[in-house]
Chains A and B, each alone.
Chain A
């Protein structure tokens, strides 16, 4: 199984996404990053770091969407992950949701529901490291690190050095 993206590729993709966020929002004044745990949260803080290197401090938070999932009753109960509101909240802000893989779109639907409970952002945008297709809902990403056509029988594994020791994206056989 060869890696689709290696560490340097992931860095490049995140840098491009960071610039696209600036371009699209004509600056970063009202931009807020919200990562979806676990790996989306790490990606969000990496993007924030890149933006910091470009001279802007952007508030970062995390958003756990477990309680809003529509497949709760299909699996045993899941542990809850951390929700951290960014400094300044999300009211009236341009919120960029960050996740590792965009697949069915159900996680993002749940995230939009969870977000609606927390406030009313001016806009909500979506950044993902990998878009692997197979959408089940009318949802699309605004910023994509890599479009990765996959078969439904495959699964995309994202590893990030913060918790997995290495940076790597690969396609594996579905469990």
Chain B
């Protein structure tokens, strides 16, 4: 496994399976009387968040603390320095503080890559969402959630049909999930209005549909994406009501799903827009499980990236 996690492309299939099995084992350990393990004692994890986030930051913080790492939360909100400079200055500050890992969330695609390639910092870089590019730990926790819901598959998703519905254009979650789920063998269908599909989507290893009702009965997993209202100034669809009617997961559609089908959403949800309250709270919904699973998966990622000797330590 590489010494960083910037994209799902950094992971081989074996790496992914090892993350998922480690997460399962860590979950079992931390379900017991003790939630805390001594493994990362003395290591420092910095949460460097240039964008707002509730669950990702709290999830990484919880994961690091359960492994006994020291956690520094660095919220860069309000900084008016231009991006390149601020990232560099910040990185050098973190380097001086002796950070072992930097978990970065940034509004610009490629920010995590830049931080990792720049040589400003020696720490392990973990991408917690960069622009509209990738959000690898979200995809990993989604895969973990699916594998727990379909335990007989043992993390082999071949033949599993997954629909990702909504704003694919702006979604880093969708990009990471397409890479990861297809790596594990799933068949992924993107469902969205044409305006919310990225240019070049025909070259992705997925099926594309503009109609949610066309084959809803076939999917084992329906993953709803958030309509990012802050990015909707460009009139991607006529009205929220129309979007909701054509692409929202309401009760009628929920009832049409397969008996074993599950509903996912990376959060935060716009209840009543892309997903109805009843769908979000139904027994098919694993949305709350996704949040809890996020901690186990991030513990696994932190352990596998930081728990052993780093490459430089091995070569010594």
Instruction: List residues 58-74 of chain A with CB under 8 A from any CB of chain B.
Output: 64, 67-68, 72-74
Chain B contacts for A113, CB-based, 8 A: 38
Q: Mark B87-123 against chain A: 1 for CB-CB distance below 8 A, else 0.
A: 0000000000000000000000000000000000000
B244 at the interface (CB under 8 A from A): no
A68-125, CB < 8 A from B: 68, 72-83, 85, 113, 117-119
Residues of A within 8 A of B62 (CB): none
Is B32 on the interface with A (CB-CB < 8 A)? yes
Assembly CA distance A95 to B45 (angstroms): 36
Q: Given the complex of chains A and B, what is the CA–CA distance between A74 and B310 in angstroms?
A: 9
Residues of A within 8 A of B32 (CB): 85, 118
**Which B residues lie within 8 Å of A75 (CB)?**
308-309, 314
Report the minimum CB–CB distance from A64 to chain B (whole Å): 7
Task: Please measure, in the bound complex, the distance between the C-alpha atom of A80 and the C-alpha atom of B39, giving whole angstroms.
Answer: 12
Q: How far is the CA of A67 from the CA of B303 in the complex (A)?
A: 9
- Residues from chain A with Cβ under 8 Å of B25 in the complex: 64, 80-83
B21 close to A (CB within 8 Å): yes
Which residue of B is nearest A79, CB measured? B18
Q: With an 8 A cutoff between CB atoms, is B196 at the interface?
A: no
Whether A83 touches B309, Cβ cut-off 8 Å, given contacts A117-B33, A118-B34, is no
The answer to whether A72 touches B34, judged by C-beta atoms less than 8 angstroms apart, is: no
How many residues of chain B have a CB within 8 Å of chain A? 23
Question: Of all chain B residues, which has the CB nearest A64?
Answer: B25
| Chain A interface residue count, Cβ-Cβ cutoff 8 angstroms | 20
Closest chain B residue to A68, Cβ basis: B38
Total contacts A to B, CB within 8 angstroms? 55
Q: Bound complex: CA of A82 vs CA of B1, how far in Å?
A: 22
The verdict on A73 contacting B308 (CB below 8 Å), with A68-B37, A79-B21, A79-B22 known, is yes
Q: Does B313 contact A (CB under 8 A)?
A: yes
- Chain A residues closer than 8 Å to B18, beta-carbon distance: 79
Whether B34 pairs with A117 at a CB distance below 8 angstroms is: yes
Chain A residues whose C-beta falls within 8 Å of the C-beta of B241 in the assembled complex? none
When C-beta atoms are compared, the residue in chain A nearest to B37 turns out to be: A67
B-side contacts of A77, CB under 8 Å: 1, 303-305, 307-308
A78 to B22, CA, bound (A): 10
Q: Are B303 and A76 in contact (CB under 8 A)?
A: no
Which of A67, A85, A118: most chain B CB closer than 10 A?
Answer: A67
Q: Is B29 close to A, CB under 8 A?
A: yes
A77 to chain B: closest residue by CB: B308
Q: Does B253 contact A (CB under 8 A)?
A: no
- 16 A-B contact pairs sorted by A residue (CB < 8 Å): A67-B29, A67-B38, A67-B303, A67-B307, A68-B38, A68-B39, A73-B313, A74-B313, A75-B308, A76-B308, A79-B18, A79-B22, A81-B25, A113-B38, A118-B33, A119-B33
Report which A residues bind B (CB closer than 8 A): 64, 67-68, 72-83, 85, 113, 117-119
B contact residues vs A (CB 8 Å cutoff): 1, 18, 21-22, 25-26, 28-29, 32-34, 36-39, 303-305, 307-309, 313-314
Beyond the given A72-B309, A113-B38, please list 11 additional residue pairs across the A-B interface where CB-CB is below 8 A: A67-B29, A67-B38, A68-B37, A68-B38, A75-B308, A75-B309, A76-B308, A76-B314, A77-B304, A77-B307, A85-B32
